[in-house]
A and B are shown apart, each in its own frame.
Chain A
Amino acid sequence: MLFSSYIFLFMFLPAALLIYYLTPARGRNLTLTGLSYFFYGWANPYFTLLLFGSTTVTYYCALTIARRPGDSATEELPLRDEDAPAPLRQKAAFWLSIAANLSLLGFFKYFNFGLENMNALLVALGLEHLQLEGLFRIALPLGISFYVFKTVSYTIDVWQGSVRATRNFVDFACYVSMFPQLIAGPIVRYREVAAQLVSRLHNAEKFARGTSFMCLGLAKKVLLADPCGKVADTCFNAATLGALDAWYGLFAYTMQIYFDFSGYSDMAIGVCLMFGFVISKNFDSPYHADSFADFWRRWHISLSTWLRDYLFTPLNYMLLTDRVRERMVREKFRYNYPAIASSVVVFTICGIWHGAGWTFAAWGAMHGILLGLEQLRTKKSAYWKWPKLVRVCCTFIPVSLAWVFFRATDLGAAFGYFASMFAVGNKTAGTGLVAGIIYQPYYLSSVAVAALLVWSAPQTWDFTRALTWRKAICCYCLLLVAVATLVTKAHSPFIYAAF
């Protein structure tokens, strides 16, 4: 069930809100959990079993990690002391939870990819007869990358003693399954909502802000991301493409992915607010960034902070051997070797997390390399004296180029697209057909408005704060236009819902 579908907007959401608010306060987490499982099971009921399995295993493992002999069964569990020696059952519970969740993700998301690559490798080695043909293919369960990251973060946090394991299964199931963030995040940490799961405030102000978040998110998706996406699809699917068209197509995709995903995140934050949950922002004007590190502080914040806390920091520390330490000091911290290496590794993993494909790995690796290279630039570098606009361009252009890998169907197509952009070879035939679509006034103006909003409009976050009647009417009008557009145009799914 997509956020931008009629069934969600006009049936599921109103019914869910009605049922939720009719439920007495202490039963609301259970109601929300039930609604979330219904939402999740809509496409394929069997996938709810995976969600329930992951939730149950994580819940019990966390309890085992946090419990100490002699704890009463009703009191709040203490924070685990990370420095205390861990008994075997705690260690076993920790690794069981991590292994169970990661293998769930690994199997359902990467099985097909692994099989294809293994077969290709066997062919390359001349061992065709060993290929595994006709073996079953795995369907990717929606949102699995997102909820597995939630359960993994909870397990690690309990292990490290930064959150208390909850004894309340319903609260925990509600956290993992909460439908607004189930399909494509944000990857909310347990510690952010732990207190809210116990008690949260529901008031008209929160609800109104949530509604306006939702209206703006839907408008971003339907009125901007979809038409930009049409331009991008036309260009990326074209057999031949002129250089200008290729740049325009990439710019349109750069706008599409931002409005698609930030629109989705706005809707998720908005729907959470309607149910009383306050969660942090997932986007902070990423295309205003003036360095790659800055970009990743602003783009998909819930993922970048997850990667920082659970992958980057430990890996970075692992690489910090005595020899590396000495060398860093000797070279007066000119070369931050562990951070450079960790960036490349972590961002390649980040790429593969998005999708099982070499294009995503290339996209991630490109970001990792850019981040690593950026570490070589000192604070006194002339770069920082350039005007902000130039620095923003120097960040925006490579970030856009990296999106080619993200969008292209395979690496060959990505390099073909680069070839078109830089006019390698003479490929001008057939461009009239593409131009006939992408330069239509509707598409041109949509891309232009998207660009204008990216660099000059306030963030949804700020716009919806201190909501006035005028702002509310503006949101309502945008909702009407978005819904009218939904009726007349074929709607497309959210990009991140495929991850």
Chain B
Amino acid sequence: MDTMTTLNGIFCEVFDEDSIQITRETTADDVDGWDSLSHTNLIVAVEMAFNVRFNLKDTRTLKDVGELIDLIDRKLAEKA
């Protein structure tokens, strides 16, 4: 499964909505309930699913789903 598919599943779980379809261009404005408070849930869920760890800067600078995917892929590459 690629990063995008796994991530889509995480979004559905965290934001409690099965119909979410994310793209690289998806931002917080597009997903109901994605705000600075629920962002914590998303970050932890992503960390657990991909077995990576984000730092404060990583979580602060993300602008859209595309950047999140790049970040995950970068973290995975660093581990490999």
Contacts and interface: CB of A to CB of B under 8 A. Distances in A.
B76 interface: no
B32 A338 contact: no
A308 B36 contact: yes
B41 A328 contact: yes
Interface string B27-69: 0000011011110110111011000000011011100000000
Interface stretch (A68-76, A224-232, A375-383): A375-383
Contacts of A343: 37
B57 A380 contact: no
Nearest to B55: A317
A325 interface: yes
Contact of B48 (A162, A297, A329): A329
A313 interface: yes
Interface string A316-328: 1100100001001
A371 B38 CA distance: 12
A378 B38 CA distance: 11
A58 B51 CA distance: 41
Contact of A82 (B13, B14, B38, B57): B57
Most A CB contacts (10 A, CB to CB) among B15, B36, B38, B60 go to B36
A234 interface: no
A380 B16 contact: yes
Interface residues of B, number: 23
A371 B37 contact: yes
Contacts of B13: 332-333
B17 interface: yes
A253 interface: no
A339 interface: yes
Given A313-B60, A380-B16, A329 B40 contact: no
Given A325-B48, A329-B48, A379-B17, A336 B59 contact: no
Interface string A373-414: 001001110000000000000000000000000000000000
B38 A329 contact: no
A312 interface: yes
Contact of A313 (B15, B16, B56): B56
B37 A339 contact: yes
A9 interface: no
Interface string B7-34: 0000001111100000000000000110
A293 B57 contact: no
A336 B40 contact: yes
Nearest to B15: A379
Contacts of B47: 325
Given A329-B45, A379-B15, A379-B33, A160 B57 contact: yes
Contact of A325 (B14, B36, B44): B44
A496 to B, nearest CB: 24
Given A82-B57, A379-B16, A380-B16, A328 B44 contact: yes
A45 interface: no
A430 interface: no
Contacts of B15: 379
Contacts of A375: 37-38
A86 to B, nearest CB: 13
B63 to A, nearest CB: 12
B2 to A, nearest CB: 22
A14 interface: no
B14 A313 contact: no
A338 B42 CA distance: 13
9 contacts: A313-B36, A333-B13, A336-B40, A339-B37, A339-B41, A378-B16, A379-B15, A379-B32, A379-B33
Given A329-B44, A333-B14, A336-B38, 10 more contacts: A160-B57, A297-B35, A320-B44, A325-B47, A325-B48, A329-B48, A333-B13, A333-B41, A336-B40, A379-B17
Interface of A: 82-83, 160, 162, 293, 297, 308-309, 312-314, 316-317, 320, 325, 328-329, 332-333, 336, 338-339, 343, 371, 375, 378-380
Q: Which 9 A-B pairs have the closest CB atoms?
A: A379-B16, A339-B37, A333-B41, A317-B56, A339-B40, A308-B36, A329-B48, A328-B44, A325-B44
